[in-house]
Chain A
Amino acid sequence: RKEVEQDPGPFNVPEGATVAFNCTYSNSASQSFFWYRQDCRKEPKLLMSVYSSGNEDGRFTAQLNRASQYISLLIRDSKLSDSATYLCVVNWSGSNTGKLIFGQGTTLQVKP
């Protein structure tokens, strides 16, 4: 089983749609969770951290379910500029050395 698994997609949605991405992780000792965004042929950039209580940043909502070892990202009112690959990221065994495990990414294509 992969340590961090995502549905690679692609997800093709019209502008204005709501889309949700899911991610599961295998290491129950993981303590920090993130969503990174990666544009084509560019470096990953932090989109948002994921907190136990869930958190929202504008049109983006992240949820964490520790019991099920499951993370989600919801994007409301999709924009063309949201087209990118979204990487689910988990820290390794709660280590403070910052070792992160990346999922393979979910590709989103928002169409006019």
Chain B
Amino acid sequence: NAGVTQTPKFRVLKTGQSMTLLCAQDMNHEYMYWYRQDPGMGLRLIHYSVGEGTTAKGEVPDGYNVSRLKKQNFLLGLESAAPSQTSVYFCASRLPDRVSYEQYFGPGTRLTVT
């Protein structure tokens, strides 16, 4: 199993450009998440999904959109990138198990917006 993979690993965008980050998991997990991590701050939840075709907002959703058309994929879109979106983006997934909340993370995407 590859676990959770993210594409691309690195990207530099100019202000106003758009892009889509792809997250894929092969563990048949129902729940998927997108986080951003900035220096000196913990991970902050952008959007999440509890199943195919469903999405919901997290703590910092502004400027981002998501889609979960297939169970194994969760896409994060930036329609018009801003320098404030320079960050490391992590995707995570887990089973819908009340007892075990372990989230499995992808390796991250390092995004710079100039």
Interfacial residues, chain A to chain B (CB-CB below 8 A): 4, 8, 32, 34, 41-46, 49, 87, 91, 96-105
Q: Which of B40, B96, B107 contacts A8 (CB 8 A)?
A: B40
Q: Which of A46, A98, A99, A104 contacts B41 (CB 8 A)?
A: A104
Q: A45 vs B48: C-alpha distance in the bound complex, in angstroms?
A: 19
B74: interface (CB < 8 Å):
no
Q: A45 vs B94: C-alpha distance in the bound complex, in angstroms?
A: 13
- What 8 A-B pairs have minimum CB-CB distances, sorted nearest first? A102-B42, A43-B105, A102-B43, A104-B42, A46-B102, A32-B101, A103-B42, A98-B31
Contact B31 A43 (CB under 8 A): no
Which residue of chain A is the closest to B100 with respect to CB atoms? Answer: A49
A-B contact count (CB 8 A): 55
Contacts of A4 in B (CB 8 A): 42
B34: interface (CB < 8 Å):
no
CB distance from A47 to the nearest CB of B (A): 10
Q: A96 vs B45: C-alpha distance in the bound complex, in angstroms?
A: 15
Contact A45 B105 (CB under 8 A): yes
Which residue of chain B is the closest to A43 with respect to CB atoms? Answer: B105
Contacts of A101 in B (CB 8 A): 42
Contacts of A43 in B (CB 8 A): 90, 105-108
Q: Which of B35, B56, B96 contacts A96 (CB 8 A)?
A: B96
Q: A45 vs B4: C-alpha distance in the bound complex, in angstroms?
A: 12
Contacts of B102 in A (CB 8 A): 34, 46, 49
B58: interface (CB < 8 Å):
yes
Contact A44 B98 (CB under 8 A): no
